[in-house]
Amino acid sequence: MNLFDTICATATPVGEGGIGIVRISGNDAEHIANIIFRPRKKPSSAFESHRLYYGTIFNPADNTSLDNALMTIMKKPKSFTGEDVVEFHCHGGQLVLQRVLETVLRQGVRLAEPGEFTKRAFLNGKVDLAQAEAVIDLIRAKTDISMRLANLQMQGQLSQKITQIKDAVVLLLVPIEAGLDFSDEEDVTILSDCEIEERLKQISGEIKKLLSTYEEGKILKQGINCIILGRPNVGKSSLLNLLLKEERAIVTAIPGTTRDIIEEVVNIKGIPLRLMDTAGLRETQDEVESIGIKFTMKRLESSEMVLFVADISEDEFEQDIKILEKITDKKTIIVGNKIDKASKEAVNAFHNAFKGMTKVAISVLLDKGVEELRQTIYNEARGKRYEAIDNDQEIIISNTRHKISLEQANKAMVKAEETLNKGLSREFIAVELKEAVERLGEITGAVTTEDILDRIFSQFCVGK
């Protein structure tokens, strides 16, 4: 099975830590352990698999000891990579780890490329491609929800679904091809056009259902860019500080306080919200301020969500509405701030002025209405279908590569249906179905190229 050379890398992050791990994978791993590691109690025969041994790592060239460490061997195929793996659990000093790694390298082992351990796990059949990709999602997860999604994918939830869809395509393809080749033989069932159409539609529906989860999946994984906009002095910076629970931005009673964009990530009920505080929007002669406003408009373009803050106590929202008209295609929430000093009439005027829009009245000063605002941000960010997801009932895709493959698979299914409706030879339907099988196979890695693998695994860190 194993056609690979032996690789090694430090598996823990650079810097000081309680422990640091140097990992080796490949046929020479055990041999290297025997050369550079001296166990305190020598085992009577070879090192046992999946056991920790305490001892000394030393440099065989001059016999100097490098560290006291724990060593474990995980013999193939019961290891992460499916090859013999040796791990040295050293003290977590940068220099210690560097010296241990150098000593391993000097035994004729190669330094691993980024993600190479996980790549080998894939190539040796320990995980499929979607599962391997979930490893990096798990490492990078910033919230509990994205961590849960990564875990489900790592356990093979998405792969199972893809395989199920692919099997359905194959199940349709087989009788169609048999009909082409052996249509004269008696025991070949010939599917009717109706049957084929129904099954094509059903499969295509399944693919589209998966595709429809992508936007949401992307937001759960990567978060959402959210810009705070509004006229000067309405309380934008105060709101940022409150959501962040930190005095991050300068707040003063002077309009035009904020000039530079201040960017921070806040966790809103599990969604990473990249929040940007900006310069208040108004006509101004001040050069610095007008540059700030230009920055704001530029950043608006790359934001998916807008928190538009208005001063609710002002009772007059004409200018706000003028600015709002320029904002299109964004998830927008109107935040009426300073409710503490607003009259009843002003609050009514606010609700009338922004009729039909998503809005929340709050007071940053008194911390009023802020929980409602958090909930509204959450609902807007995730869209309407989040309940099903919270119940684990739905499979979510969040990876662009998966999305593209699914789109291509679906395109083939649609083409197959068109071919059928045009009454063309079923040969052409078979071609499209084969295309769909290929595209679906790309997701789990049943079909893959070196190029795809390089692109995926180069995103990993060295040592993973």
Ligand X SMILES: Nc1nc2c(ncn2[C@@H]2O[C@H](COP(=O)(O)OP(=O)(O)OP(=O)(O)O)[C@@H](O)[C@H]2O)c(=O)[nH]1
Residues forming the site for ligand X (CB under 6 A): 230, 232-238, 251-253, 255-258, 280, 337-338, 340-341, 363-365
Tell whether residue 278 is a contact of Mg ion (CB under 5 A): no
| Closest by Cα among 294, 369, 372, 379 to 331 | 379
Q: Between 116-123 and 129-140, two packed helices, what is the crossing angle to 10 degrees? A: 150
Per-residue binding string, Mg ion, 191-230, x by CB under 5 A, is ----------------------------------------
Nearest distance in Å: CB 225, ligand X = 19
Select 217 or 235, whichever has its Cβ closest to ligand X.
235
Q: Which does 341 bind (CB under 5 to 8 A by kind): Mg ion, ligand X, none?
A: ligand X
Select 89 or 236, whichever has its Cβ closest to ligand X.
236
Pairing of strands 271-277, 262-268: antiparallel
Q: Which does 233 bind (CB under 5 to 8 A by kind): Mg ion, ligand X, none?
A: ligand X
Q: Which amino acid is at 395?
A: I
The rounded Cα 101 to chain-centroid distance in angstroms is 31
Q: Which does 363 bind (CB under 5 to 8 A by kind): ligand X, Mg ion, none?
A: ligand X
Q: How many residues does the chain have?
A: 464
Select 204 or 233, whichever has its Cβ closest to ligand X.
233
Nearest distance in Å: CB 288, Mg ion = 14
Taking the CB of residue 391, how many other CB atoms lie within 10 A of it?
8
Nearest distance in Å: CB 237, Mg ion = 3
The rounded Cα 75 to chain-centroid distance in angstroms is 32
Select 112 or 276, whichever has its Cβ closest to ligand X.
276
Select 51 or 322, whichever has its Cβ closest to ligand X.
322
Q: Which of 6, 146, 258, 337 binds Mg ion (CB under 5 A)?
A: 258
What span, in angstroms and rounded, lies between the C-alpha atoms of 309 and 354?
A: 12
- Sign, CA torsion 337/341/344/346: negative
Query: By three-state DSSP, how is residue 49 classified?
Result: strand
Nearest position to ligand X, beta carbon:
280
> What are the backbone angles phi and psi of residue 185, rounded to the nearest 5°?
-75, 150
- Sign, CA torsion 367/368/371/375: negative
Select 97 or 251, whichever has its Cβ closest to ligand X.
251
Nearest distance in Å: CB 352, ligand X = 21
Of 313-352, which residues contact Mg ion (CB under 5 A)? none
- Decide if 312 contacts 346 (C-beta within 8 A): yes
Q: Which of 153, 157, 237, 363 binds Mg ion (CB under 5 A)?
A: 237
Nearest distance in Å: CB 95, Mg ion = 46
Nearest distance in Å: CB 259, Mg ion = 9
- Decide if 211 contacts 410 (C-beta within 8 A): yes
Pairing of strands 224-230, 305-311: parallel
Alpha helices in 111-253 (DSSP H): 116-123, 129-140, 144-154, 157-181, 193-211, 214-222, 236-244
Binding-residue total with Mg ion (CB under 5 A): 4
Select 25 or 237, whichever has its Cβ closest to Mg ion.
237
Cα-Cα end-to-end distance for the chain: 21
Tell whether residue 238 is a contact of Mg ion (CB under 5 A): no
What span, in angstroms and rounded, lies between the C-alpha atoms of 203 and 162?
A: 11
Select 73 or 227, whichever has its Cβ closest to Mg ion.
227
Nearest distance in Å: CB 235, ligand X = 3
Residues at the contact surface with Mg ion, assessed by CB under 5 A: 236-237, 257-258
